[in-house]
């Protein structure tokens, strides 16, 4: 519905006097117009299933967005359920409309809380059935390259402090047999989470929290109701592709690189793994997954590397008392077998003064090594609980024997907590589609696609190498002539 109004104001002056001399206009001529637009708003929906009719009525709306804030449903059995939402800008004024204040962020669609209530007595009283609340904030930490290492840094520049949701909460309390909360056992009626007199409410329980974001607002680390973490590492180009996910691990406790995405001007790959030293190999015969691997030999002795401090702060990569595992795939040139002094996967522990606490390595002859096709998977575990005085841990790959050592190829290096589950990915850099996925055992699945990007064949890695496990065919009817 559109309502319009127009008004004119006209005044005149004499253009000339009786002697022909010009006389300026005494007043002005102008027009005013207004237009009001009244949007169509859904007020109710009626549904009939069998012989039971139910009606949902929307009776409260957001003045800025027009979205419904309260909906009430009723059915033929006399049950009435009400769903209410609280916009975040009502609790955080800064999230409000820029039309009212240019300093606001205009996050009008953000929701701070929801509440579901139920009544069976024509609305005389309502009992809480479910309630959730989400906190919002603009003070966040980010992973930044500081010098030649990555650190967790708190953003303090107001121009880069963006509002995001962090914690999620759910109302908990004693229940009636019908599933609604028991006020008598709770002691008081339901407490709103954002009630200024009771800002967190005794019955509220935190169920999740996002603890680390990327600069582009991608969640990198979150924890669940039990305090267990789930984290992701990003890479490729603008650092938007998921390199790996790991359960039961904080962001710094795991790492992965397939040598696919060297970061220009540094010796890092995506995922905070070191190792790029102009030693990339793109010969597909010596690539485990993706399109690249690392080549050692001919003067280059060191490959992938990931390490850091042991402690409980945000800038400590590893946590005391946990066991960490490292893996890497290696391959020798055709016709050569890896010897005792071929490439090694090593783990190195240091004390606070930089002295060696423990050093160990794995190679192709180690009992933990697994062979698949022409590639060897090296595995190494470091139990930190056995070395309480260790303050830093390094995992890496190196080729002993000096600069004239035989050539060897490395691919798909990873580090993770032993009790975590990690999955890694490689992508087609042109299309952004997943090419391979490495599972919790670090064995790969390969996806072959047609020109339209559809998966037509899936291969999995076994001791004999990659073998086809699935094939798909697309059949289309011919055009009618």
The predicted-structure confidence for 148-186, as pLDDT tens digits, reads as follows: 889 999 999 999 999 999 999 998 766 677 666 665 555
SS3 category, 46:
strand
Which pLDDT does position 79 carry in this prediction? 78
pLDDT of 427 strictly over 60:
yes
Query: Among 152-161, 199-208, 284-293, 379-388, where is mean pLDDT lowest?
Result: 199-208
Report the C-alpha gap between 479 and 392 in whole angstroms: 67
Which pLDDT does position 187 carry in this prediction? 45
Residue 275 inside a domain? The answer is yes
Long-range contacts of 320-323 (CB under 8 A, 24+ apart): 320/384, 320/385, 320/388, 321/384, 321/385, 322/253, 322/384, 322/385, 322/417, 322/418, 322/419, 323/381, 323/382, 323/383, 323/384, 323/385, 323/417, 323/418, 323/419
Contact criterion met (CB below 8 Å) for 393 and 399 = no
pLDDT of 11 strictly over 90:
no
Report the C-alpha gap between 185 and 203 in whole angstroms: 11
Which pLDDT does position 363 carry in this prediction? 92
Same domain, 56 and 197: yes
Q: What is the mean pLDDT of residues 86-104?
A: 93
Query: Among 46-60, 308-322, 327-341, where is mean pLDDT lowest?
Result: 327-341
Which pLDDT does position 476 carry in this prediction? 74
Q: What is the mean pLDDT of residues 11-34?
A: 60
In the listed set 398, 418, 438, which residue is the last one of a domain according to the structure? 418
Residue 428 inside a domain? The answer is no
Which pLDDT does position 265 carry in this prediction? 87
Report the C-alpha gap between 411 and 413 in whole angstroms: 6
pLDDT of 61 strictly over 50:
yes
Query: Among 162-176, 272-286, 322-336, where is mean pLDDT lowest?
Result: 162-176
pLDDT of 320 strictly over 60:
yes
Same domain, 343 and 409: yes
pLDDT of 24 strictly over 60:
no
Mean pLDDT, the chain, rounded, equals 87
Q: What is the mean pLDDT of residues 418-441?
A: 96
Same domain, 106 and 20: no
Residue 247 inside a domain? The answer is no
Report the C-alpha gap between 45 and 334 in whole angstroms: 70
SS3 category, 111:
strand
Same domain, 23 and 169: no
pLDDT of 3 strictly over 60:
yes
Same domain, 50 and 31: no
Report the C-alpha gap between 204 and 361 in whole angstroms: 49
Query: Among 66-75, 98-107, 353-362, 394-403, where is mean pLDDT lowest?
Result: 394-403
Closest to 397 measured CA to CA, from 358, 460, 468, 348: 348
Report the C-alpha gap between 95 and 356 in whole angstroms: 52
In the listed set 418, 440, 461, which residue is the last one of a domain according to the structure? 418
Same domain, 21 and 52: no
Q: What is the mean pLDDT of residues 347-361?
A: 97
In the listed set 418, 434, 454, which residue is the last one of a domain according to the structure? 418
Q: What is the mean pLDDT of residues 204-212?
A: 92
Same domain, 155 and 217: yes
Q: What is the mean pLDDT of residues 56-67?
A: 91
Owning domain of residue 268: 254-418
pLDDT of 72 strictly over 70:
yes
Same domain, 213 and 349: no
Which pLDDT does position 190 carry in this prediction? 65
Q: What is the mean pLDDT of residues 445-473?
A: 95
Which pLDDT does position 33 carry in this prediction? 78
Closest to 438 measured CA to CA, from 294, 256, 192, 191: 256
pLDDT of 234 strictly over 50:
yes
Same domain, 370 and 298: yes
Global pTM reads 0.84
Residue 377 inside a domain? The answer is yes
Residue 172 inside a domain? The answer is yes
Q: What is the mean pLDDT of residues 197-213?
A: 79
Residue 432 inside a domain? The answer is no
Same domain, 33 and 50: no
Residue 286 is given by DSSP the state G
pLDDT of 17 strictly over 60:
no
Instruction: Check residues 175 and 444 and name the one with the higher pLDDT.
Output: 444
Instruction: Check residues 243 and 4 and name the one with the higher pLDDT.
Output: 243
Which pLDDT does position 224 carry in this prediction? 95
Same domain, 27 and 74: no
Tell me the two tokens of residue 55: 């009606």
Residue 241 inside a domain? The answer is no
Same domain, 215 and 304: no
Which pLDDT does position 402 carry in this prediction? 62
Look at the chain and report how many structural domains it folds into: 3
Residue 59 inside a domain? The answer is yes
Contact criterion met (CB below 8 Å) for 261 and 233 = no
């Amino acid at each position: 519905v559109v309502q319009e109004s127009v008004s004119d104001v006209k005044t005149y002056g004499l253009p000339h006097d009786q002697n022909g001399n010009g006389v300026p206009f005494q007043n002005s001529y102008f027009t005013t117009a207004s237009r009001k637009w009244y949007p169509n708003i859904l007020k109710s929906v009626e549904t009939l299933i069998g012989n039971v009719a139910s009606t949902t009525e929307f009776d409260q709306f957001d003045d800025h967005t027009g979205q419904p804030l309260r909906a009430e449903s009723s059915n033929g059995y006399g049950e009435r359920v009400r769903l209410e939402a609280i916009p975040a800008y009502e609790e955080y004024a800064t999230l409000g409309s820029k039309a009212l204040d240019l300093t606001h962020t205009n996050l009008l669609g953000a929701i701070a809380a929801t509440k579901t209530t139920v009544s069976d007595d024509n609305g005389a009283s309502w009992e809480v059935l479910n309630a959730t609340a989400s906190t919002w904030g603009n003070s966040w930490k980010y992973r930044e390259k500081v010098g030649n290492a990555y650190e967790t840094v708190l953003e303090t520049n107001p121009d880069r402090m963006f509002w995001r949701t962090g914690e999620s909460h759910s109302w908990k309390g004693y229940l009636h047999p019908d599933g609604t909360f028991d006020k008598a056992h709770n002691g008081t009626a339901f407490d709103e989470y954002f009630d200024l007199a009771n800002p967190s409410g005794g019955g509220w329980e935190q169920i999740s929290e996002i603890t680390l974001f990327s600069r582009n607002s991608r969640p990198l680390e979150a924890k669940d109701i039990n305090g267990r973490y789930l984290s992701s590492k990003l890479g490729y180009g603008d650092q938007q592709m998921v390199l790996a996910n790991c359960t039961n691990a904080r962001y710094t406790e795991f790492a992965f690189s397939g040598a696919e995405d060297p970061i220009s001007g540094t010796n890092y790959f995506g995922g905070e793994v070191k190792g790029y030293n102009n030693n990339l190999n793109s010969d597909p015969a010596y690539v485990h997954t993706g399109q690249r691997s690392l080549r050692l030999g001919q003067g280059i002795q060191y490959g992938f590397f990931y390490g850091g401090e042991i402690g409980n702060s945000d800038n400590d990569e590893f946590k005391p008392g946990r066991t960490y595992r490292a893996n890497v795939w290696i391959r020798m040139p055709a016709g050569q077998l890896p010897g005792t002094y071929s490439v090694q996967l090593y783990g190195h522990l240091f004390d606070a003064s930089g002295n060696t606490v423990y050093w160990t390595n794995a190679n192709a002859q180690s009992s933990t090594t697994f062979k698949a096709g022409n590639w060897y998977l090296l595995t190494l575990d470091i139990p930190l609980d056995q070395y309480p005085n260790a303050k830093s841990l390094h995992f890496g790959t190196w080729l002993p024997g000096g600069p004239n050592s035989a050539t060897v190829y490395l691919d798909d290096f990873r580090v993770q907590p032993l009790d975590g589950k990690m999955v890694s990915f490689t992508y087609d850099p042109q299309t952004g589609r997943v090419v391979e996925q490495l599972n919790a055992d670090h064995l790969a699945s390969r996806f072959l696609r047609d020109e339209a990007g559809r998966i037509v064949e899936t291969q999995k890695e076994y001791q004999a190498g990659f073998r086809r496990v699935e094939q798909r065919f697309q059949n289309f009817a011919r055009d009618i002539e």
